[in-house]
Amino acid sequence: MAKSKPDEFRHKVITDPVHGEIGLSRLEVDLIDTQSFQRLRRLKQLGLATLVYPSASHSRFSHSLGVFHIMSRAIELMVRRGKFTDTEGRLLRIAALLHDIGHYPYSHLVERLDRDPYRKALLGGGRRGKPARSYPDHEKLSAMIVTGRKCTGSA
């Protein structure tokens, strides 16, 4: 980024087969090294697609790094053009890195099932006759992980 120290985003470099070198700051490395981020290595990005396309074995971990890299390039351009400050750029990089931190295994599939109106008969009613939610949406869980807040009711 424009005004940052030249090596700030080269504290560690990950070599990716798609994106090449992905430079990381010390804070970004510390975030990647957390249990919450490392668990993304075990979550499939493409869900059940591997049953049809066996080589489509991307994890949420590698997906998050790819999104981070692409967004970092866009953010760097916007900082150079004066659309974001360096501080805003750093925050946006972290947001891109952590965007999937709250995903469950098969999140999108399971969240659709969780909204199935026929679940009401199995789980009992929630507020205003809607089926009870068994867990928060992955977006809400992401916010809870990042901010350290506890879940406050259903989504």
pLDDT per residue as tens digits for the range 66-106: 999 999 999 999 999 999 999 999 999 999 999 999 887 77
Same-domain check for residues 13 and 77: yes
Please report where in the chains the tokens 């199995």 appear, as a residue: 122
Termini Cα distance of the chain: 37
Alpha helices in the chain (DSSP H): 26-32, 35-38, 60-80, 86-97, 107-114, 119-123, 138-147
Work out how many domains the chain is built from and give that number. Answer: 2
| Same domain flag for 93 and 131 | no
| CATH number of the CATH domain containing 65 | 1.10.3210.10
pLDDT-based confidence at residue 56 (cuts at 50, 70, 90): confident
What mean pLDDT is predicted for residues 103-121? Answer: 65
Residue span of the structural domain in which 22 resides: 8-97
- Give the separation between CA 16 and CA 69, rounded to whole angstroms: 10
What pTM was estimated for this model as a whole? 0.75
The angle that helices 60-80 and 86-97 make with each other, rounded to 10 degrees, is: 160
Indicate the range of 28-37, 44-53, 60-69 predicted with least confidence. 44-53
